[in-house]
Amino acid sequence: MSNYICTLCNSTFTTKYGLNKHINKKIKCFTEKTDNISKFQCDSCNKCFTTNQTLIKHIAISCPIIKNKEKKKINTDNMQGQIDELKEMVNILKNTVDELKTMVIDTISKKTETIYVPKLIGDKDIITGIIYLIQPEELLKTNRYKIGCSTKNDLSRVCSYKKNSRYLYIAECINPYTLEANIKSIFNNKYILIAGRECHCVVIADGTVPQSLKPTPMEWDFEGDEKDIINDFVKIVNDYNNEVGI
């Protein structure tokens, strides 16, 4: 089959009629040598085509610029998916860390469990304090304890916790003076406490020490088992609470 070629734009036609129609159309064809602008030009790679159909085929199938853009878009979408997965994993790890922190805090708080006893309203002579069991040398792994009564100042106790200088077993009481006698009587008859330089005595809520309870040189010198001491201590507090009708 013979091809008919336009001498101006090099367009090809299968029939002479088609060539004549092309030459005689109202919008004349242009000479490629003098005009670089094509009616059928790819906006992406600037390649020129003689027909719109060829341009459409080029854009849909073979334009390298468009292909690269599509590949980049696919890669970007995949990366975004991976980023989203990583963010989700980070959130899971954060939640896990928060749960672990909560578990640690709960464990620590259980070591300092408080037995609450309500203060009697209207009785000015009653002193409210906190009876506690202290291991002042916990980091040295000793079994040295101190029975005492602290103030209810939370800030003061928190400072002690931060210094790791106290191990507390706390029980709040209505009248420390009454409970002191019970503690002194039971513990003196059962245990040998070794306090080192820590003077074992009962301290009142205001920080003073009753004269009658100041230790003698041999008093409070005994060592006891931690579990037994704590159990006895809890029993003393509970018995006291039962006596006062709480």
Mean pLDDT, the chain, whole residue set: 58
- Give the N- to C-terminal CA distance of the chain in Å, as an integer: 116
Side chain identity at residue 15, one-letter code: T
Beta strands in the chain (DSSP E): 4-5, 12-13, 40-41, 48-49, 114-115, 129-134, 146-150, 168-173
Task: Name the pTM for this structure.
Answer: 0.25
Sign of torsion, CA 72 73 76 81?
Answer: negative
**Token pair in block for residue 214:** 């100041």
Extents of the domains making up the chain: 4-63, 114-243
* Contact status, residue 35 vs residue 48, Cβ threshold 8 Å: no
Tens digit of each residue's pLDDT (9 = 90 or more) over 103-159? 666 655 544 443 333 333 333 333 444 444 443 333 233 333 344 434 345 555 455
Which residues does residue 203 pair with via DSSP β-bridges, in sequence order? none
pLDDT of residue 88: 83
Q: What's domain 4-63's architecture?
A: 2-Layer Sandwich (3.30)
Which residues does residue 146 pair with via DSSP β-bridges, in sequence order? 134
Sign of torsion, CA 155 159 160 161?
Answer: positive
